[in-house]
Structure 1
Amino acid sequence: MKLIRSALHAIRTGRFERSMSALTAAGAAITTAEIYLSHDGASFGNKMMYWPIVVVPTAIPAGVAGFFSRRAARTVLPAASILIVVNGIQGAYLHVRGIRQRPGGLTKYNMESGPPAFAPLLASLVGGMGLLAALLRRETLPGEGN
C-alpha cells in the first residue's frame, strides 16, 4: 500500500521521469512489433515501410537509459522521441496518400480497407511519451535516498 501511495504522490507532483522513460521503451517495443507485422503483411511494398522499423526501436535503449540516467532522459530520449514523432507524421501522410490512390479515392470503404490512416499517429504517441519524460521531474525509487 505504501508503494502505491508513493507512486501516486510522485505522479501528482510531476515526478514521473523514470517511469515514463521505461513506459516509452516498452511502448516502442510493442509498437515496433505491430508495425513490422502490418508492414510485412503488405509485403513491404513501399521502401518507406522500413523507416518505422528502424526509427521506432531507437526509443527502446533510449528509454532504458533514461530510466537509469537523468542525463540520458534529458538528451538521448528526447532526440529519439522527436524522430519517432516526425516519422509518425510522415507515415500518416503516406497512409492517407495510399488511401487516396485507391480506386474511388478517399471513401469510407477505402479508409476501412486501405492502410490505417491514424496508426502512424499512434506510433507518434510513443515519441510523445519520451518527450514528456524529458519534461517531468525525476522520481526516487523505493530504497533510494533523496
Structure 2
Amino acid sequence: MTHASRFASGLASVAAGAALAVVATRSLREARRAPPIAKHVAAARAFNHGSALLALSVLADSAMEHYRGSFQNPAMYGALASATAALGASLHGGADRSEASHAVRHAVQLAAAATGTAGTAFHLYNVRKRPGGWSWHNLFYGAPAGAPFALLLSGALGAIAEQLRDEPEHDPRLFGMPAGKTLALIAGAGLLGTAAEAALLHFRGAYQHPAMYVPVVVAPAGAALLVHAALATPEPARRLRGFARLWLRITTALGFAGAGFHANGVARAQGGWRNWSQNLLAGPPLPAPPAFSALAVAGLAALRLRETEQ
C-alpha cells in the first residue's frame, strides 16, 4: 500500500469516527428535547446507554478473540451470550422512561457482571499458568483481561441503573452515598481501568504513533475530574464543573476516533482490508476504543446528577 493510500485510508477512518461521534451527540440532543423526566431516571438511562455501548464492544471483541482461540473452552460461548443479553437489556432500559426497575433487566445485568468477574479471573489465571508466569510477555500475549473486565463494567452500569430507578426522586442514594457521588466514583474507576488496558497494549506496540499516548493521558485526567467532582466541597467542584464536562465530551469523541485509528492500523497491515479475515484478528482491536465513550457518557450523567446534589 502506498503512502498516499495509507494517508487516505487513515483520513477516512478518522472521519468515520468523527461522524459516529456527531451522530451520538445528535441522539443525546434529541433525547433532551423529549418531555422532562425525573433526574435520577435520566441518569439511569444514560448509564443504560453506556452499558449498551460497553456490551456491544465486548460482544464484538470477544467474538473475534474467541474465534481466534477456536472456542477451545465451551465457556467462551458464555461471554458472547452474556454480552448479547446485556446489550438487549441495556437498550431496553435506555428507552424506558419509567421510575421503576425491571426485574428481568436487573437479573441480566447482574449475570453479566458475574460473567465478567469470572472471565477476568479466568484470563488472569491463563496468564499465570503460561511458561514464565507473570511477565510482560505473558501479559502482552496471554488472554486479555480487558474484555471480561469491560463486561463486568457493562453489567455493573446496567445493574446500578436499575437500582437507581427505585430511589426517591428528591434524594436518590446508592451504597449509602448521594447517587451522583457514587456514580462519579464508579465511572472514574472504570475510566482508569480502561486506560490501564490501553496503556499495556500501546506499550506492547512501542507507542509507535504519537496518537497512542492520547487515551492514556485523556482518560485518567477525566477520571481525576470525576473523583474531584465526587469528593470536593461544592465551591471547588463548581469551578471545575464546566471544564469537567468539556473534558468528558472530548473523551467521548476519543473513543470513536480511536476506532478510526485502529481501522487505519488494520488497513496498514499486509493486504489491508482485502485480507480482513487475518488483519482484523492480528491488528489493533476495533471494538476496544468505544469503551472510553461509554464510560464518559456515564460520567457526564453522574456530573449532571452531582450538580443537583450540591
Pick the aligned partner of 1:111 from 136, 139, 142.
Answer: 139
Question: 1:53 is aligned with what amino acid?
Answer: L
Match of 2:50 in 1: 23
1:135 matched to 2:163:
yes
Equivalent residue for 2:75? 48
Alpha-carbon distance in 1 for matches of 2:90, 2:32 = 24
CA-based RMSD: 3.1
Separation in 2, partners of 1:30, 1:70: 27
| Counterpart contact for 1:36–1:53, Cα < 8 Å | yes
Evaluate the alpha carbon distance shift between residue 54 and residue 13 of structure 1 in structure 2; reply closer, same or farther with a 3 A threshold.
Answer: closer
User: Could you list the per-position Cα deviations for residues 38-74 of structure 1 after superposition, in whole angstroms to 9, with x for gaps in the alignment?
Assistant: 1111111222111101111112222233223638843
Q: Quick one: which amino acid aligns to residue 156 of structure 2?
A: G
Match of residue 90, structure 1, among 118, 126, 148:
118
**In structure 2, C-alpha distance between the alignment counterparts of 1:58 and 1:5, rounded to whole Å:** 27
Name stretches of at least 5 consecutive residues in structure 1 with no aligned partner: 139-146
Larger Cα-atom Rg? 2
- Length, aligned pairs only: 136
Provide Cα deviations, 1:109-143, integer angstroms capped at 9, x if missing partner.
111111113431121111011012113349xxxxx
Change (3 A) 1:26 1:118: closer
Scaled by the length of structure 1, the TM-score of the pair is: 0.75
Cα 1:5/1:15, change in 2 over 3 Å: closer
More relative contact order, 1 or 2 (CA 8 Å, 6+ apart): 1
State the one-letter code of the partner of 2:53.
A
- Structure 2, unaligned stretches of length 5 or more? 1-28, 167-310
Q: TM-score, normalised by structure 2?
A: 0.38
Query: Secondary structure at the residue paired with 1:133?
Result: helix
Measure, in 2, the Cα distance between the counterparts of 1:13 and 1:21: 12
Higher helix share: 2
Identity %: 28
Amino acid at match of 2:161: A
